[in-house]
Chains A and B, each alone.
Chain A
Amino acid sequence: MLVWLLAIVMGLSVGIALYTFVYARGASYLTDDPKACLNCHVMRTEYDGWVKASHRQAAVCNDCHTPEGVVQKYASKGYNGFLHSVAFTSGHFPDVIQLKPYTRAITERACLKCHTDVVHAIQMRRGQELSCLHCHQNVGHQ
């Protein structure tokens, strides 16, 4: 008898979880579509900025905000996605959102994916790299 009850309760849990996943457009977060980032209203300013910014021609959110490599990319998405969910559910986050050091490093490396040829002459040795974002903080979206 208890086994049946357990089966029903587990089935309910899985069902509710699946519904929540679909309702919250969970699958969209596995894609590269910038609209997925817009599911959460917090990204509206960044999205609107990107739509009008020069990089729209060349890059979507994931090109600059996730690392290279399929495993690293989804690990990073999972990690940041979890933090974002906690932040938006609890409401405890700065209104003007900010990069963490880990995500900032991803973005710094992303610049070089395309611009290495232009900047290799001014790139210093390891540990003393110039920061692209120090001057070009607005290229992605503002």
Chain B
Amino acid sequence: MNGREPSSRTLIIAVVVSALAAFAVTALLINIFQRQEEAKHVFFRVVDLDDHIDDPAIWGKNFPFQYDAYKRTVDQVRTRYGGSEAVPRTPTNADPRSVVAQSKLEADPRLKTIWAGYAFARDFREDRGHAYMLDDQTFTERQIAVKQPGTCLQCHGSVYTAMTELGKGDVMQGFEKMNALPYAEARKLAKHPVSCIDCHAPDTMQLRITRPAFIEGIRALKARDGVKDYDVNTMATRQELRAFVCAQCHVEYYFKGSEKRLTFPWGNGLQGDQILAYYDAIQFKDWTHAETGSPLLKAQHPEFEMWSQGIHARSGVACADCHMPYKREGAMKISDHHVRSPLLNINRACQTCHKWPEAELKARVEMIQDRTFELRNRAMDAMVALIADLKAARDQGLSDELLAPAQTFHRKAQFLFDFVEAENSTGFHAPQEAARLLGQAIDLARQGQLTVRGQKPR
């Protein structure tokens, strides 16, 4: 000590500094305490859930982090080949939407020729997030073009509770009743887009299948593989269910018979050409092409089927692993219910397994998509050329009977091309399978052209 008392000003500063230090350390202490508590208690039961509650906001009281992420499916973000941009539009009485996704028909008018005569040639847009599924289905112009059945709501709304009530406790009966309703009637039964109860059991939160069409479809597929009476809700593993719950909707389907029963055409297998063979066997068609008279099939978002042919499925990677990867909220680890393109979430979605920089992983995905897109464009050119040839032949007076072989080529090429076009990964879910189908589509379209030209009067 130099014998001099420190000035009171110095002392006050010292008091303030040490008090601030104590403040900061206490704040850190509380933070550590919180993190440790978070790790101990992953959830608090605030409300009792049961099989009649379809409102996600009520489930969200028990699972606020999952609910919070789920609500973020309203985000509209573009990726190179997918995602959606928010396109403003003027609301009308018939369609009150002020924002829609960009039109795929305007982006590539060849699609209008390819789907001529079908509702998809009238309105077809990029898919938006789950939050929009009910509105986008309710207000699409396709509703005006065709009278749609209640079946559509199977995948455009949370209808599990509605089906159970319609069937007086029996989902299967409710399913049949809802399919038979006109769309506008059934629409009144759906209050929310896909919701917690559509994938989770309310008592255990375990994943479960609520859609009868998947229960029947997967049973038919398993029967083909020699498994009798497959019951998905008792026989599927947890990891399988992490793909199956998505496959309740992200699949190819058709409406069977006059009762419009939603059916997944999997009796021959999941590959595009196997499904085509299934449709050929039952002589099913979605529409007759306006310019060629061919009896055609439209593929719809066969994500599950395409994924099943790829290396990720083979490695046991489920939809949820990439589209709902694990994330942290404080010390808690939850699966991200903001379902979206993995390209918008590369760290969590890809880098868990692939230890490469984000830019490298994105480049790998886009390389696959660029190549698929190039092949898809070639397939579209071949399709448009075949349609032009068939149309010219009809204009010259060749009968549909004479043109039937070429129309069969048109039918096959259309379905296999569309199986890749309508699938939401631009080939990524199974690159070689997508290329195989597009290669077939190109070949079939060109064979169709040769057949038409061979029949032209010389």
Point out residues on A near B: beta carbons under 8 Å. Answer: 2-3, 5-6, 9-10, 12-13, 16-17, 19-20, 23-24, 41-42, 44, 88-89, 91, 94-96, 98, 137
Contact = CB atoms under 8 A, between A and B. Distances in A.
Contacts of A3: 11
B28 A13 contact: no
A17 B19 CA distance: 12
Given A13-B25, A16-B22, A17-B25, A95 B347 contact: yes
A13 B21 contact: yes
B348 interface: yes
A53 to B, nearest CB: 15
A137 B12 CA distance: 55
B32 A95 contact: no
A9 B348 contact: no
Contacts, number: 68
B12 A16 contact: no
Contact of A95 (B11, B327, B331): B327
Contact of A19 (B29, B35, B352): B29
A12 B29 CA distance: 14
A16 B21 CA distance: 10
B18 interface: yes
Contact of B29 (A10, A23, A42, A96): A23
Contacts of B21: 13, 17
Interface of B: 8, 11-12, 14-15, 18-19, 21-22, 25-26, 28-29, 31-33, 35, 39, 325-328, 330-331, 333, 347-348, 351-352, 355
A5 B15 CA distance: 8
Given A91-B330, A137-B355, A41 B35 contact: yes
Given A13-B19, A16-B22, A2 B12 contact: yes
A62 B351 CA distance: 24
A95 B22 contact: no
Nearest to A91: B330
15 contacts: A2-B12, A3-B11, A5-B15, A12-B18, A13-B18, A16-B25, A20-B32, A41-B39, A88-B35, A91-B328, A95-B325, A95-B328, A95-B347, A96-B348, A96-B351
A67 B22 CA distance: 33
